[in-house]
Amino acid sequence: MAKYFDVHPENPQPRMLHQVTAMIRSGGLIAYPTDSCYALGCQLGDKAGLDRIRAIRRLDGQHHFTLVCADFSQLGQFVRVDNNVFRTIKAATPGSYTFILPATKEVPRRLLHPKKKTVGVRIPDHVVTQAILAELGEPLVSSTLLLPGEEEPMTQGWEIKEALDHALDGVVDSGDCGAVPTTVVDFSLPEPAIVRRGAGDPSRFE
């Protein structure tokens, strides 16, 4: 059964954060809120965690996983960003955007898009997510919590625990969470391309 963490939305309890990150470090898979919608998250390098996310969402090998980062310096360890792209992304973060960029050698091969060698990255504008990342000290490997056959993600922690109680190790609940995934922009192409229109305003990339 998944452990339920009732975390304060503005002042996350340190004890709760420690328990959540300890679970992640020990190979746990969690559902957690972000500034767009709930996501599934596991530790970087956790192959079993990736397999569990694929199984829950029924993902194929072409899916772009996302590294959810605390800040730009952390993001820069995992993707290659030229000066023009740097300025554009910097102006849009933190926020409800996912950026697809060429990965560095710091990214495990199993996270990469098999043909493009790219990975998704984002810096969320969410107090609880940022608190988890600060406690963890590294990015979370994530994917939107959108179940097969559903058009919208679940928005309530209790609802997620009920539906995925035996598939997850933990559910982090900090109150209301949105139901719109991030806007995804592919910067690995000669010109930026909007792959998905979502919670972040896409007009700045058009």
For position 36, which CATH number holds? 3.90.870.10
DSSP, res 92:
T
Residue 205 inside a domain? The answer is: no
Using DSSP bridges, classify how beta strands 118-122 and 39-43 pair: parallel, antiparallel or unpaired: unpaired
Residue 7 inside a domain? The answer is: yes
> Mean pLDDT, the chain, as a whole number?
95
Residue 149 inside a domain? The answer is: yes
Domain range for 125: 3-198
* pLDDT at residue 60, rounded to an integer: 83
Q: How many domains does one find in the chain?
A: 1
The per-residue pLDDT for range 145-156, each reduced to its tens digit, is 999 999 888 899
* pLDDT at residue 113, rounded to an integer: 85
Strand partners, 5: 172
Judged against a pLDDT cut of 90, whether residue 62 lies above it is answered with no
Cα R_g (the chain), whole angstroms:
16
* pLDDT at residue 94, rounded to an integer: 97
Residue 162 inside a domain? The answer is: yes
Judged against a pLDDT cut of 80, whether residue 20 lies above it is answered with yes
Judged against a pLDDT cut of 80, whether residue 79 lies above it is answered with yes
Judged against a pLDDT cut of 80, whether residue 61 lies above it is answered with no
Does 181 sit behind a cis peptide bond, omega within 30 degrees of 0 on the bond before it? no
Mean pLDDT of 177-201: 94
**pLDDT class for 98, splitting at 50, 70, 90?**
very high
Stated pTM of the model:
0.96
Residue 132 inside a domain? The answer is: yes
| Residue 65 in tokens | 């996983």
Residue 192 inside a domain? The answer is: yes
* pLDDT at residue 76, rounded to an integer: 93
Phi, psi of 89 (to 5 degrees): -70, -40
Mean pLDDT of 140-169: 94
Q: What is the 3-state secondary structure (H, E, C) of 156-185?
A: CHHHHHHHHCCCCCEEEECCCCCCCCCEEE
Residue 203 inside a domain? The answer is: no
Residue 169 inside a domain? The answer is: yes
